[in-house]
């Protein structure tokens, strides 16, 4: 089970430059749909990769779905070698996204974010319009219902 407060707290206390996207961002905006992981877009600077590694290391991240015992090294070098990572940790599942379809990199998403107070932390979250654009761009059939709900939320807010 994902401990949202613990994961978000680890990222915030570690000073990680990241933006909550995906299902948790939808929840923050008022979605009633369930989500079981934390998706974040993260800055790819070396300094931030170092922060990500330090912040999540105590939670023992590992590649989600991979068989146990792989020679997996949680390090800046490993993060630099990839872009998007689906991980499982002691506090639940987290996806680290260097790039999201329809949204791009952390820097490109940054102007389309809001800051919300969660569990005593200032958490940066993708705004509703950008979240809808990203889900539309992803083009996954399973997102269609989520897009409908996000659009309904947008209408309700404007109502």
Distance CA 33, CA 27 (A): 7
Stretch that binds other proteins, among 64-72, 75-83, 96-104, 150-158 (CB under 8 A): 150-158
Stretch that binds other proteins, among 1-9, 41-49, 56-64, 93-101 (CB under 8 A): 1-9
Q: Which of 35, 44, 62, 85 binds other proteins (CB under 8 A)?
A: 35
Q: Which of 57, 76, 90, 116 binds other proteins (CB under 8 A)?
A: 116
CB of 74 to other proteins, least distance (A): 25
Q: Does 47 bind other proteins (CB under 8 A)?
A: no
Q: Does 30 bind other proteins (CB under 8 A)?
A: yes
Q: Which is nearer to other proteins, 28 or 76 (CB)?
A: 28
Q: Does 156 bind other proteins (CB under 8 A)?
A: yes
Could you please report the per-residue DSSP string of 45-61? SHHHHHHHHHHHGGG--
Distance CA 2, CA 38 (A): 8
Q: Which of 44, 86, 136, 138 binds other proteins (CB under 8 A)?
A: 136
CB 54 within 8 A of CB 14: yes
CB of 155 to other proteins, least distance (A): 9
Show Cβ contacts of residue 77 under 8 Å, excluding neighbours closer than 6 positions.
none
Stretch that binds other proteins, among 3-11, 45-53, 71-79, 96-104 (CB under 8 A): 3-11
Q: Does 101 bind other proteins (CB under 8 A)?
A: no
Q: Phi and psi of 58, rounded to 5°?
A: -65, -20
Radius of gyration for the chain, computed over Cα atoms and rounded to the nearest angstrom: 15
Element (H, E) at 134: helix 128-138
Distance CA 25, CA 41 (A): 11
């Amino acid at each position: 089970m994902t401990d949202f407060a613990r994961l978000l707290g680890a990222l915030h206390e570690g000073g990680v430059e990241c933006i909550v996207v995906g299902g948790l961002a939808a929840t923050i905006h008022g979605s009633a749909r369930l989500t079981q992981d934390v998706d974040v877009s993260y800055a790819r600077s070396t300094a931030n990769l170092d922060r990500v590694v330090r912040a999540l290391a105590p939670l023992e991240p590992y590649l989600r779905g991979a068989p146990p015992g792989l020679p997996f090294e949680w390090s800046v070098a490993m993060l630099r070698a990839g872009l998007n990572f689906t991980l499982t940790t002691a506090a639940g599942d987290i996806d680290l996204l260097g790039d999201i379809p329809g949204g791009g990199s952390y820097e490109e998403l940054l102007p389309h974010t809001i800051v919300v107070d969660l569990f005593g932390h200032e958490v940066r979250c993708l705004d509703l319009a950008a979240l809808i654009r990203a889900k539309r761009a992803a083009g996954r059939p399973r997102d269609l219902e989520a897009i409908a709900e996000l659009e309904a939320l947008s209408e309700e807010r404007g109502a």
